[in-house]
Amino acid sequence: MKLKFNKSDHTYCLDGKWIPALSNVLDFYFGEYQDFTNGKAAERGQYVHKACEYYAKGILGGVKEDLTGYINAFARFFKDNPGIMAGKPTTEHKTYITIPENISNNLINWMGCGMRIDLIFRQSQVVIEIKSGIPAKKHFFYFSREEMQLNTQIHAIASKKKPPNTWTGFLLYLKPDGEYRAVEKEYNFNLWIHFRMALHGWYNKNYDKENK
């Protein structure tokens, strides 16, 4: 299966079929909408993510003056956690695929969603999700949107040789004053089950509309 990412509107196609981004599924599950493609917050987030990627790879040049604090915060995190920088990191677009169960449309023989994973350190088996905004509130199931996002990324990047429960994730909140808050998360199988429910629900509601 071939995954294609459209940068202009942050959408994904898999073998010629439009599939939801992870953010679309999270919007459906948590009952909220977040537009990550427009506005100042989106522009800041995209710039900070790319600058952090370049810093981790050792190729960062100049930084916008008003965003220097976020990059300084990222640099501090790595200096405080040297074991994480094992090997060169990658930034990847991945897809999660599952076989449908109890899906109303019997024409679907697989379901998928695309996602961008900010930083992957395969040698140390660490996934980092960078945040430059306000942390999300906990859901009534006692986990947040961001925790489900990170957990799904870990599941997507794992393999038979390196299963999900051998990976560690970080929600890394960067602040404009150069401070950071790192929330370490281990893979949570129950949270993955909730995501499968969310994905199934999204397809039941939206598949015919998006792929007619």
Domain ranges of the chain: 3-210
Give per-10-residue mean pLDDT for the chain (212 aa). 72 80 88 63 84 89 88 93 80 73 51 87 91 72 86 90 92 94 93 90 73 50
Rounded to 10 degrees, the C-alpha dihedral 120/126/131/135 comes to 150
Please provide the DSSP assignment of 31-55 as one string. T----SSSHHHHHHHHHHHHHHHHH
Say what the pLDDT of residue 42 is.
Answer: 75
Say what the pLDDT of residue 149 is.
Answer: 92
Q: Please give the CATH number for the structural domain made up of 3-210.
A: 3.90.320
For residues 68 and 123, what is the distance between their CA atoms, to the nearest angstrom?
29
Say what the pLDDT of residue 103 is.
Answer: 46
Say what the pLDDT of residue 69 is.
Answer: 94
40 Cβ contact partners less than 8 Å away, ≥ 6 residues apart: none
137 Cβ contact partners less than 8 Å away, ≥ 6 residues apart: 144
Within a 10 A sphere around the Cβ of 22, how many other Cβ atoms? Answer: 24
Burial (0-12, 13-18, 19+ Cβ within 10 Å), 83: exposed
Say what the pLDDT of residue 15 is.
Answer: 76
